[in-house]
Amino acid sequence: MKMNITNKAVLFLAFGMLSLGAAAQKITVPAPSPLQTVTQKFGLGEVTVEYSRPGVKGRTIFGDVVPYGKIWRTGANATTKITFTDEVKLEGNVVKPGTYGLYTIPNKDSWEIMLYKDLTLNGNVGDYKTENEVLRFKVKAIKIPMKMESLMINIGDISATESKLMLLWENTVIAIKMTTDIDARVMQSIDESMKSEKPEYFRAASYYFDNGKDLKQALVWATKATEENPTAFYMFNLKARIEYKLGDKAAGKASAEKSIALAKDAKNDDYVALGEKLLAENK
């Protein structure tokens, strides 16, 4: 009799534990405003944006869901964060390396953009304090004919020293000019490299050519690079472009043809095409 009671108790306890486990089972569903992190190399550093992406979902966003003239967290859920590992300028305003909250005030024709020190404010914009602002500036709001369903923050139109921080949602685009001053530091690193045991001739020549500096010096370095790397088709392509830019068509043609031959040996169709295009443009 005691054994039967014990067995029943064990069975009852086991059934109860299973029931509790079943009750605690969580339902997994997609996030309504999924998190995205965008990291972009820019200048000599990186820019990272971490934000949640709400959708339009048939609503009117700007002027309704996101009212005009009021502070917005520029996303959903937690604070939208932007991190710079190197100094940049946003619309001419200096921003030191660090992580900031990205807040905005949308209006019909223009937006106010604010970088904010407090990363814990999230959507509690009623507690927003102007003394926590790092900077504030205005940019034009651009209307587009197509609809962007999910909020997108991205970095585009990238060059060595300039790019655009882009915000797109619904029928609105915000483009913030982002610049960085790296020339002095790059020039110093080139000087230091040239004094070292193994100078980076190709990289130095490329920087001089791309940034409109002394082309004769760039050619000296490009020539040294090809002498050290006699099968590097991409180095001969650079040498040809420098020679053509200096007005030496005969030398440019010879270097371009060398680049094409080496690229064919390496089965690199892209540089074959680049070399042939270079020849065609400089007949």
Mean pLDDT of 220-244: 98
Please report the pLDDT score of residue 156 as a whole number. Answer: 95
Within its chain, how far is the Cα of 49 from the centroid?
8
Angstrom distance (rounded) from CA 97 to CA 138 = 21
CA neighbor of 79 nearest in space, from 101, 49, 48: 101
User: Residue 246 has what DSSP assignment?
Assistant: T
Q: Looking at the predicted structure, is the pLDDT value of residue 14 above 60?
A: no
Encode pLDDT of 116-156 as tens digits. 999 999 999 999 999 999 999 999 999 999 999 999 999 99
Q: What is the mean pLDDT of the chain?
A: 93
Confidence band (pLDDT; 50, 70, 90) for 1? very low
- Tokens found for residue 40: 């972009």
Q: What is the pLDDT of residue 28?
A: 87
DSSP-assigned states of every residue in 174-188 = EEEEEE---HHHHHH
Amino acid in the structure at residue 11: L
At 98, the pLDDT band (50, 70, 90 cuts) reads very high
Predicted local confidence at residue 160, as pLDDT: 86
**Cβ neighbourhood burial of 178 (10 Å; 0-12, 13-18, 19+):** buried
CB-count burial class (<10 Å; 0-12, 13-18, 19+) for 117: middle
Cβ atoms of 173 and 182 closer than 8 Å = no
Lowest mean pLDDT among 16-20, 52-56, 70-74, 179-183: 16-20
Q: How far, CA to CA in Å, does 245 sit from each of 56, 110, 250, 281?
A: 50, 43, 12, 12
User: What average pLDDT does this structure show over 164-170?
Assistant: 97
| Interval 254-272 mean pLDDT | 97
Beta strands 76-84 and 98-106, pairing class: antiparallel
Per-residue confidence band for 185, with pLDDT thresholds at 50, 70 and 90 = very high
At residue 60, the pLDDT reads 96
- pLDDT at res. 29: 84
Confidence of residue 25 (pLDDT cuts 50, 70, 90): confident
Model pLDDT, residue 7: 64
